[in-house]
Amino acid sequence: MKLGSKEYYVNAFKDGLMINYVAPKSQSLESIYIYHEEQIREIPHLKDEEKCSYSRNLQKAYDQTVDEIVGHSEE
């Protein structure tokens, strides 16, 4: 799994959820998202277009994780 890929972030969200089972204080998906968004902005060697790609993948991974946990509503 490559840093910045959708799969990388899906695993990061799922890891965070699993840690919630044993940690004394749990983290929300939103806080995990914010953490990774900040990390993307702080990677010095990435060009702006690469940062945008990482951010898009992070959003896709977040959406996928929420859909898997909560399900998506049909309109």
Q: For 9-36, write each residue's pLDDT tens digit.
A: 999 999 999 998 898 888 999 999 999 9
59 is in which domain, residue-wise? 6-69
Per residue in 44-67, pLDDT tens?
Answer: 999 999 999 999 999 999 999 999
How many domains does the chain divide into?
1
In a domain, residue 21? The reply is yes
pLDDT for residue 11: 97
> Is 19 inside a domain boundary?
yes
Q: Residue 73's pLDDT is what? A: 56
Q: Is residue 16 part of a domain?
A: yes
Residue 74 in any domain: the answer is no
pLDDT band, residue 1 (cuts 50/70/90): confident
Predicted model pTM: 0.88
**1 within some domain:** no
DSSP 8-class letter at 9: H
Q: Note whether residue 75 is domain-resident.
A: no
